Chains A and B, each alone.
Chain A
Amino acid sequence: MTDHAQVLADVRRGMIPAHIYNDSALFELEKERLFSRAWLFVAHESEIPQNGDYVVRRVLEDSFIISRDSRGEIRAMFNMCLHRGMQVCRAEMGNASNFRCPYHGWSYRNDGRIIGLPFHKEAYGGEDGFKKKGQTLLPAPNLASYNGLIFISMDSGAEPLEDFLGDFKYYLDFYTKQSAQGLEVRGPQRWRIKANWKIGAENFAGDMYHTPQTHTSVVEIGLFREPKAEKRKDGATYWADKGGGTTYKLPPGTFEERMRYVGYPDEMIDRIKQAWTPQQQRLVGEDGFMISAASCFPNMSFVHNWPKVEDGEDVLPFISLRVWQPISADETEVYSWFAVDAAAPEDYKAKSYKAYLMCFGSTGMFEQDDVENWVSLTNTAAGSMARRLLLNSRMGLLEDNSVVVDPLPAEQFHGPGYAQVGYNENNQRELLTLWADHLEMPPVRTDATAVGTHNPDGITPLVQTNRAPAVPCPSTEEKAAQA
């Protein structure tokens, strides 16, 4: 680590060596120590609503089939045949009871178990030669979900997902739990940008300062009334454990009036009041802050904005989830989903989708100008001059590390973590400090295993940590526990 000790020390004091945004040696370290360990978002349960539905998602180079099996359980399995390593599923999504390897015809149930092995007896001498019984595709090392958001960790010894997320869960609920029915997620749109993955994550985490400059054009055309400079700096940023984000300050009013101000219809507000805790409602109703963009370490982000989607004064909110999937030190694949409360009226869903398309995603008018900046930054970070330049990421701090603006007292901001009104780079520093901490951790053990493929009941299904499983019948484990 001696090579990078100075880099990490600089990052921790908010002076960012510019080359961290385009450095292949650091990218190797990120793969070995960060992406091998942190919980990474891969899919939402609503993307695979029916038994047999699956999506295929990658964690860096590793392809996983995320499948809802024929009994409704969700599993994640490494998309590589146990025999010669061919991908057993080459589609991105679909519905299947089993996956057949095109190479030699081995086939697997949608819970991972081998069901077909051609000429098992003749070629292998049956079970004596290859123990087919109880063998499965290699499971994802760790799988969990929160509010239907499915995460994989490549570390079988990772801390539980909810411990990892920590107090950021309080804010996650604003985006992902607006009724008991939870989210309906569509997409993703996917595209590749020649930009380092950290830049987008930092931007969504806390960059209120860029809004009035970068996004001038969307205010000029009447798409969004809020980002004018004087309004944006009235918002607060917050950080809580693994995530943080930005908020807008709303005009005076009750919880209901402020939810109406950003465009929620009354029936949705009624359901939201059932879904959010009193403490969550106080952030809007008493403190007057409405969540906007956010990031969850390391590479997941969120958007909640309320643009004008047709002539007139009415605005309408939309929610988007996204992943900054690293391809290399200078390339990222963006996955951008539209998300809406599953219980929302159909007319609202359609307009909210329109709001998303106009603002974010592959064609979004906000997004277009962001990416232009990030590509340029990444390009410029590749050379030797970038190794001599420390980028100032100390906004909000004086030279002696005292703060320019005091954090909000608890009675003015009812969320966990800490929050501060106005422009600052607290959240970008928090995100990069977590990044630095991970780069100093030892590599995760990734021993070769054949044992991990022996799962007589299929691959261990996903456990819902914060709500009743979708399928009411008790699992095998629960039955065993009751016996």
Chain B
Amino acid sequence: MTSTEPPARAGHGAAHSEQSVLGGHAPRQQRVGKPLTFDDARHLQAHQFLVDEAYLLDAQEYRAWLETLTDDIHYLMPVRVTTALGSGFDTSPGMAHFDENKYSLSRRVARFVTEHAWTEDPPSRLRHYITNVRTFASSDDDHLVVESAELLFRSRGDVNEAAFVSCGREDLLRREGQSWKLARRVISVDESVMRMQNLAVFL
């Protein structure tokens, strides 16, 4: 083990996806080796993917966002729980906030574009802050594993207090033609009790 190894509770995205209730279809590629250097072209492409995506999500351009996902996407956000150090788990067994495939994500997007998704009419003001990005190679040239930290700020109306979600993400990106697409995302939220009225957002 060197000092650049991820801490014990990070870097388990692939395992979470594999163990989740609805992740049977998910791609299984994992990270290989140390993070790529920040001047590596693959890292720059991965970073750009995340930043471009953040702008799409801020603007709630969800149909365009759906186009950036592979058909076999697994989009998972486990429920975090407080457990004793050494208990060996910190997510709620068999439960998640999101455990999605392309179909269920497409229904969520379809709902937002109806004229009757009241929770987002008037729309929230969203800002997805993406930072601490690092990229790993995988076992093949067509996949990259990307870690990032995310802070979502969400403001609704003029009276309600704004809400935050802080999380870490481990993504699997797949090269499709000239661009990258998101094939797997595991969102590790930092609260066990969410302080947001609903998750009518994507992280």
Binding site for B on A (CB under 8 A): 90-96, 186-195, 214, 216-218, 220-223, 309-311, 333, 338, 350, 353-354, 357-358, 361-363, 365, 367-369, 371-373, 375, 379
- Check if B118 sits within 8 Å of A191, measured CB to CB: no
- Check if B197 sits within 8 Å of A186, measured CB to CB: no
Q: Closest B residue to A356 by CB, please name it.
A: B95
- Check if B195 sits within 8 Å of A94, measured CB to CB: no
Q: Inside 8 A of A361's CB, which chain B residues have their CB?
A: 97
Q: Inside 8 A of B77's CB, which chain A residues have their CB?
A: 363
What is the minimal beta-carbon distance from A384 to any residue of chain B, in angstroms? 16
A367 in contact with B160 given A187-B92, A189-B97, A372-B119 (CB within 8 Å): no
A368 in contact with B119 given A192-B194, A379-B159 (CB within 8 Å): yes
Asked if B117 CB lies within 8 Å of chain A CBs, one says: yes
Report which of B87, B119, B193, B200 forms a contact with A190, defined as CB distance below 8 A: B193
A94 in contact with B87 given A309-B104, A311-B103 (CB within 8 Å): yes
- Check if B114 sits within 8 Å of A220, measured CB to CB: yes
- Check if A191 sits within 8 Å of B195, measured CB to CB: yes
- Check if A216 sits within 8 Å of B114, measured CB to CB: yes
For this complex, 16 residue pairs linking A to B, each with C-beta atoms less than 8 Å apart, are: A91-B84, A92-B82, A94-B87, A95-B87, A186-B94, A189-B97, A193-B197, A193-B198, A216-B116, A221-B114, A354-B99, A358-B107, A362-B97, A362-B199, A369-B119, A371-B197
- Check if A92 sits within 8 Å of B98, measured CB to CB: no
Q: Inside 8 A of B151's CB, which chain A residues have their CB?
A: none
- Check if B111 sits within 8 Å of A354, measured CB to CB: no
Q: Inside 8 A of B84's CB, which chain A residues have their CB?
A: 91, 94, 96
Q: Is the interface of A mostly helix, strand, loop or mixed?
A: mixed
- Check if A371 sits within 8 Å of B199, measured CB to CB: no
What is the minimal beta-carbon distance from A125 to any residue of chain B, in angstroms? 33
Q: Closest B residue to A373 by CB, please name it.
A: B118
Binary CB contact string for chain B from 84 to 105 against chain A (1 if under 8 A, 0 otherwise):
1001000011111111100110
- Check if A194 sits within 8 Å of B82, measured CB to CB: no
> Could you tell me the distance between the alpha carbons of A423 and B97 in the complex, rounded to whole angstroms?
33
Tell which of A96, A194, A311, A373 has the most Cβ of chain B within 10 Å: A194
Q: Inside 8 A of B21's CB, which chain A residues have their CB?
A: 350, 353
Asked if B45 CB lies within 8 Å of chain A CBs, one says: no
A217 in contact with B111 given A187-B95, A354-B22 (CB within 8 Å): yes
- Check if A90 sits within 8 Å of B82, measured CB to CB: yes
Q: Closest A residue to B84 by CB, please name it.
A: A91
Q: Please give 17 more A-B residue pairs, beta carbons under 8 A apart, in addition to A91-B87, A186-B94, A310-B103.
A: A91-B83, A186-B93, A187-B95, A191-B195, A216-B114, A218-B111, A333-B193, A357-B104, A358-B107, A362-B194, A362-B199, A363-B200, A365-B107, A369-B119, A372-B198, A375-B160, A379-B159
Report which of B22, B92, B193, B199 forms a contact with A186, defined as CB distance below 8 A: B92
Q: Inside 8 A of A379's CB, which chain B residues have their CB?
A: 159-160
> Could you tell me the distance between the alpha carbons of A63 and B26 in the complex, rounded to whole angstroms?
39
- Check if A191 sits within 8 Å of B93, measured CB to CB: no
Q: Inside 8 A of B196's CB, which chain A residues have their CB?
A: 191
What is the minimal beta-carbon distance from A220 to any residue of chain B, in angstroms? 5
> Could you tell me the distance between the alpha carbons of A186 and B92 in the complex, rounded to whole angstroms?
8
- Check if A365 sits within 8 Å of B83, measured CB to CB: no
- Check if B97 sits within 8 Å of A192, measured CB to CB: no
A214 in contact with B22 given A94-B83, A361-B97 (CB within 8 Å): no
Q: Closest B residue to A351 by CB, please name it.
A: B22
Interface size class of B (residues with CB under 8 A): 35 or more
- Check if B198 sits within 8 Å of A357, measured CB to CB: no
- Check if B197 sits within 8 Å of A194, measured CB to CB: yes
Report which of A187, A188, A369 forms a contact with B117, defined as CB distance below 8 A: A369
- Check if A353 sits within 8 Å of B22, measured CB to CB: yes
What is the minimal beta-carbon distance from B172 to any residue of chain A, in angstroms? 21
A371 in contact with B119 given A92-B81, A191-B195, A221-B114 (CB within 8 Å): yes
- Check if B199 sits within 8 Å of A363, measured CB to CB: yes
Q: Closest B residue to A93 by CB, please name it.
A: B81
- Check if A92 sits within 8 Å of B95, measured CB to CB: no
What is the minimal beta-carbon distance from B115 to any residue of chain A, in angstroms? 8
Q: Inside 8 A of A369's CB, which chain B residues have their CB?
A: 117-119
What is the minimal beta-carbon distance from B6 to any residue of chain A, in angstroms? 24
What is the minimal beta-carbon distance from B11 to any residue of chain A, in angstroms? 23
- Check if A191 sits within 8 Å of B193, measured CB to CB: yes
Q: Inside 8 A of A189's CB, which chain B residues have their CB?
A: 79, 92, 95, 97, 194
> Could you tell me the distance between the alpha carbons of A92 and B100 in the complex, rounded to whole angstroms?
26
> Could you tell me the distance between the alpha carbons of A92 and B110 in the complex, rounded to whole angstroms?
36
Asked if B34 CB lies within 8 Å of chain A CBs, one says: no
- Check if A220 sits within 8 Å of B81, measured CB to CB: no
Report which of A96, A186, A195 forms a contact with B95, defined as CB distance below 8 A: A186
Q: Closest A residue to B201 by CB, please name it.
A: A363
Report which of A192, A222, A354, A362 forms a contact with B104, defined as CB distance below 8 A: A354
Binary CB contact string for chain B from 165 to 203 against chain A (1 if under 8 A, 0 otherwise):
000000000000000000000000000111111111000
Report which of B83, B110, B194 forms a contact with A191, defined as CB distance below 8 A: B194
What is the minimal beta-carbon distance from B58 to any residue of chain A, in angstroms? 19
Q: Closest A residue to B77 by CB, please name it.
A: A363
Asked if B63 CB lies within 8 Å of chain A CBs, one says: no
Q: Inside 8 A of B97's CB, which chain A residues have their CB?
A: 189, 357, 361-363
Q: Inside 8 A of B108's CB, which chain A residues have their CB?
A: 358, 365
Q: Inside 8 A of A353's CB, which chain B residues have their CB?
A: 21-22, 94, 99
The A-contacting residues of B in range 104-130, CB under 8 angstroms, are 104, 107-108, 110-111, 114, 116-119
- Check if A214 sits within 8 Å of B104, measured CB to CB: no
Q: Closest A residue to B108 by CB, please name it.
A: A365
> Could you tell me the distance between the alpha carbons of A358 and B105 in the complex, rounded to whole angstroms?
9
> Could you tell me the distance between the alpha carbons of A91 and B89 in the complex, rounded to whole angstroms?
12
- Check if A217 sits within 8 Å of B197, measured CB to CB: no
- Check if B160 sits within 8 Å of A92, measured CB to CB: no
Q: Closest A residue to B202 by CB, please name it.
A: A363
Q: Inside 8 A of B81's CB, which chain A residues have their CB?
A: 91-93
> Could you tell me the distance between the alpha carbons of A223 and B110 in the complex, rounded to whole angstroms?
10
